[in-house]
Structure 1
């Protein structure tokens, strides 16, 4: 036992002794002749420190500072990869600091200036007629894919198919177009050309524009922010609503979206100072008072005007008013839509009832959250199919019983359900008509306030004393909740069909009187909520609305606005392109024109009317209303809804489907830009590629 403990105590000494012995032993001979790595030998550790080798980063080829002159070299130097400067014909160590040092060198900058204006050899080689026709065919085929939302992969079949069908066509035989080339054509020729044309127009001096933006989530759950612009094309004297860009955003905050907008405009070299209007939906992140995209824009652009989307606001007002009606009415519409939505058996069975009752064979619609006032179409469809629906549900309760089916049948057996639906059909038609008007892309801001006032007068006269409504000088400030101005419940106007149905119910002894009274109270509450909410949402306090009516031809001819000084005060940016006194002189000179001799009608739409005015020239051949053109065009491009962005979201939904959910953002933008540009040219049949498109390189990827 004692010996064992002694051995344990001696173990550390033995270990030290062994280590000293190993250290003192001679080093084995190592042949380093085959190792050719740069570095230095550490005599203490006996280890050679290997220097890190430089490798070429392919991402450098995409950077703006390098992509025009940098290429990867196939040579190596001491194991380091090299980069090649095509301007200086010099190899450089593939290290970013070395590349930057070379780029800033006097030699490189001098060489860059020397070759800047030297034309390329390809510019001297003119394409033959056959090559032009082949390129034209390839552009039109690629454009047809974008216009009709056809998968790009289909071109792998379409190209060879054309050559097979038309063997006698030299053009068809020479077309060599597959998905990769078609994608490059859409990105680098069609999409780029159309977008550059838009960007160039918006860069012109005095070209004012409005931005419309909104965000959505696509099929691949990527958050996208879409931008469209309203701009006045001074060459053709026409207001254009154009697609600007669609950008993937990581942050949905106000600062993130604002940065996204400013970076997009900076990248396209579009001056922000010319932005005079902004429109979006009514969310706080977009149009909130304190911290929103518009609030951040207002700091840099004090003159910018905010017009919230009128379609969104009227939709929200109607949705809020519908909450004043019994819940079972809207539940019926949703349950019926869901009942038929995914069952072909039920649809076929219901079709038999439609044929028996001799009604139109139409599908039952379901309310959609993402469509403005879709409830109106659902109400009308249920009213149209009310009798066969009731018979179908009665039969289904016995053949396929369920709690939901029984509830739907009980609701339809309720005498007041039909009356509520008829009332909703009438009143929602008023709101839907307003919404439809302002989904247009023609200039309509001058009609917004008059149409809102007209709608309010119509709605308020349905439940308020008509004399009071007439006496209101400003209907927007009327007392919509003051019961002293209300008519009796039985005198509330609910539409012709609903009134007729109520008269029949009054004669029915099975319907209690209090039920009809409750119906009228619900309608009254609906009207009160709708009118009140409209006045709260639509804000016309901006001084812009005091003179926006001057774009109306009838008011312009009557010179109701004597001077355009208020316009200059509201938009001082105008003074950069107009002379104040000349602007007023031209405005008053317009009132002295011989309208009948010049074919200027006061009932024409403003865009057409002012296009005729701006084409007038004096005896010297100069434009008569050059200053006035800038002023009127500014007012014509002011927005009133974001329907244009919503349409782009519909296009995005059709582009990026479950089968095409891997489409990259640049491909989506190219497809959308090509589609819009070709449609404006009259479609792919009438579209003729420009000379620039015919000679532009397919594989060049420039930033626009």
Structure 2
């Protein structure tokens, strides 16, 4: 008997044409991810993509009831247009949004707006004042942030060649999202100074070098910045940033051959001190500093008991707080050691009185009674004081970049002169290459405080010799660590020092400026012009010879009889060199602001709002403006009253350039289906 063939099953696919039929057009949708099924938006049901099944579904009781309910509701259509509100009210709304951005969370605007209207009932600015958390959020993202982005791009664009440097670092926020922080350093002719301004917090898909470079190039494209105009890259000493084979700098170097890497000097000095102390000093020194802070940090009773003892000994003066050694703050050990040494006798007496209560107090008392620990801390204070001065100078935004070389030389001398033979280094640069082990001084001088206190102490000569030997080992290790970590920084600073007015106005100059021009990637033709201008600049009478920035601004504004700046190439070289970063302090400050803005109560804040708040805060700081005295332009005030500015995807301002419009829309845009954004602006139990 012949077996009949089994009928082949036919799978109908969804057809877009069905949506135009009268019986289907209001509810029929395709099912994402499956082209053999359809979706009823009224019943929230999945259907087979077959015409007969769809027609059967139309006749069901459930579908008819849903159709009847929905068809009975009226649909309100909103038209995007301009709200005819009082211009003074718009300005007041803009100022309130600026205040919220700079000082507090967005949820505060709900009460602040009502409070202002009640407090100033006679003011015309409060007539049409309507600002609450949803509108305030949209104004910050879609009006204020694009304005400040446009302002930054225009400020960078005023440069002839738009040279700039970037400072980058990665961090993790409170929601465990990996972020790449980017700060741009450029010369602002508008502000007449070198500016370090926040650029963006870019989310990282991967934390390796490739992911960081992709996020960096995406940011540069968003802001319309040419990557070939980047002259310097400032990073910390992490291997992912500075790795020889696959680091971020090595990958960027393939696209930007003349890019200069500037390792953060503050990070280098911090690592040098940490490694030297770990391998040479006794471990109980770290225990003493850490546990002294922990003893008082969580107990008000202990603080009060110690305060009574301190005031009794010091005639009513209150004690200073014992500081914590923090891993995220450079050389935080130095102020902690200062505080303990200043209160050594009082702390010894306090722990002697409470030693019977706790084993930790008894252990700390025995350490404070041991004079060897006191000698170790005296030595640490003397040497860390010099390192701390260098760190504070490099992290200062107002520091003269051409005088940083002297700071580094002074530090190298102070560290090496304690342990090396006198006159062993003929030049300052010799300290970077000298063999320390072969040139050790047999009788090193460890500082007046250490030497005088070691003579007065009751310790034996053998004990003092052992302490001194370990201090010498610490000094030797610190000098070697500095030699290993700072030669590249020294080379860049040495080249930059030739741009100082005192050097450039000398008549008997050599051609050493060409080395800096080669380092920055200038071709032979421009180097020849730079050398001619380098030798001719001393024949002009200049007024501002004491300030580096003012001097080069004067040179930039100089014109001859034909209205031509004959020192144009030399000015561009100087501006490019002055924008080189020497510390990661700028990006570390941004991360501090990020942790303040996005905290535990605001942990679901989305990226666009976080970027907008940090960007506005930073630009107000850079321009030395406040929320109450910053003058918003008229087109920004007018944009506050437009419905189009309160949507999640906005159109750029007509006067904005293409690069500025792209950056502005990126800062402001957020998908309406983004759960984090929806919760961020609607949930009452979350503080914005």
If the length of structure 2 is used for normalisation, what is the TM-score?
0.79
- Equivalent residue number for residue 292 of structure 1: 247
- Equivalent residue number for residue 499 of structure 1: 451
Q: Give me the whole-angstrom Cα distance separating, in 1, the residues matched to 2:590 and 2:606.
A: 16
Q: Give me the whole-angstrom Cα distance separating, in 2, the residues matched to 1:386 and 1:547.
A: 46
* One of 346, 350, 358 as aligned partner of 1:392: 350
- Equivalent residue number for residue 134 of structure 2: 180
Match runs of 1:435-474 below 5 Å: 435-442=391-398, 444-470=400-426, 474=430
Secondary structure class of the residue paired with 2:257: coil
Deviations 1:200-239 (CA, angstroms, capped at 9, x unpaired): 4445650111111001111111111100011112444421
8 Å Cα contact 1:574-1:630 kept in structure 2? no
Shift of 1:681: 4.3
Secondary structure class of the residue paired with 1:212: strand
Secondary structure class of the residue paired with 1:465: coil
Shift of 1:340: 1.5
Query: Is the alpha carbon distance of 1:693 and 1:487 closer, same or farther for their aligned partners in structure 2, counting shifts above 3 Å?
Result: farther
- Equivalent residue number for residue 281 of structure 2: 325
- Equivalent residue number for residue 64 of structure 2: none
Matching of residue 608 in structure 1 with residue 553 in structure 2: no
Secondary structure class of the residue paired with 1:659: helix
Shift of 1:581: 4.7
Match runs of 1:627-638 below 5 Å: 627-638=569-580
Match runs of 1:61-100 below 5 Å: 77=25, 80=28
- Equivalent residue number for residue 62 of structure 2: none
8 Å Cα contact 2:408-2:490 kept in structure 1? no
- Equivalent residue number for residue 105 of structure 2: 151
- Equivalent residue number for residue 378 of structure 1: 336
Shift of 1:184: 1.1
Q: Give me the whole-angstrom Cα distance separating, in 2, the residues matched to 1:256 and 1:473.
A: 38
8 Å Cα contact 2:140-2:612 kept in structure 1? yes
Shift of 1:666: 1.1
Shift of 1:350: 1.9
* One of 677, 684, 692 as aligned partner of 2:619: 677
* One of 599, 606, 621 as aligned partner of 1:664: 606
- Equivalent residue number for residue 420 of structure 1: 376
8 Å Cα contact 1:340-1:347 kept in structure 2? yes
Contiguous gaps of at least 5 residues in structure 1: 1-19, 24-42, 57-73, 83-120
Shift of 1:562: 3.6
If the length of structure 1 is used for normalisation, what is the TM-score?
0.78
Matching of residue 163 in structure 1 with residue 117 in structure 2: yes
Secondary structure class of the residue paired with 2:560: coil
Shift of 1:55: 11
- Equivalent residue number for residue 505 of structure 2: 557
Shift of 1:360: 3.4
Shift of 1:317: 0.7
Shift of 1:634: 0.5
Q: Give me the whole-angstrom Cα distance separating, in 1, the residues matched to 2:24 and 2:569.
A: 64
Shift of 1:300: 0.5
- Which of 1 and 2 has greater Rg? 1
- Equivalent residue number for residue 194 of structure 2: 239
Q: Give me the whole-angstrom Cα distance separating, in 1, the residues matched to 2:489 and 2:185.
A: 23
- Equivalent residue number for residue 327 of structure 2: 369
- Equivalent residue number for residue 306 of structure 1: 261
- Equivalent residue number for residue 433 of structure 1: 389
Shift of 1:261: 0.6
- Equivalent residue number for residue 63 of structure 1: none
8 Å Cα contact 2:168-2:234 kept in structure 1? yes
Shift of 1:487: 3.4
8 Å Cα contact 1:445-1:639 kept in structure 2? no
Q: Give me the whole-angstrom Cα distance separating, in 2, the residues matched to 1:480 and 1:252.
A: 39
Shift of 1:439: 0.1
Shift of 1:621: 4.4
8 Å Cα contact 1:460-1:469 kept in structure 2? no
Shift of 1:337: 1.1
8 Å Cα contact 1:547-1:561 kept in structure 2? no
Shift of 1:619: 3.4
8 Å Cα contact 1:294-1:306 kept in structure 2? yes
Shift of 1:242: 0.9
* One of 432, 437, 444 as aligned partner of 1:476: 432
Matching of residue 527 in structure 1 with residue 465 in structure 2: no
8 Å Cα contact 1:492-1:520 kept in structure 2? no
8 Å Cα contact 1:142-1:186 kept in structure 2? yes
Q: Give me the whole-angstrom Cα distance separating, in 2, the residues matched to 1:75 and 1:233.
A: 64
Matching of residue 283 in structure 1 with residue 238 in structure 2: yes
Contiguous gaps of at least 5 residues in structure 2: 31-78, 651-661, 664-688
- Equivalent residue number for residue 209 of structure 1: 164
8 Å Cα contact 1:143-1:678 kept in structure 2? no
8 Å Cα contact 2:242-2:250 kept in structure 1? yes
Secondary structure class of the residue paired with 2:196: strand
Q: Give me the whole-angstrom Cα distance separating, in 2, the residues matched to 1:520 and 1:139.
A: 64
Secondary structure class of the residue paired with 2:263: coil
* One of 525, 535, 539 as aligned partner of 1:588: 535
- Equivalent residue number for residue 138 of structure 1: 93
- Equivalent residue number for residue 692 of structure 1: 635
Q: Which moved more, 1:443-452 or 1:236-245?
A: 443-452
Deviations 1:397-447 (CA, angstroms, capped at 9, x unpaired): 12x22x222211110010122221121111100000000000022475544
Aligned length: 588
Q: Give me the whole-angstrom Cα distance separating, in 2, the residues matched to 1:159 and 1:79.
A: 42
Q: Give me the whole-angstrom Cα distance separating, in 2, the residues matched to 1:472 and 1:186.
A: 52
1 or 2 for the larger relative contact order (CA 8 Å, sep ≥6)? Answer: 2
Deviations 1:119-155 (CA, angstroms, capped at 9, x unpaired): xx999x9x98x7332222111111112222x011000
8 Å Cα contact 2:86-2:127 kept in structure 1? no
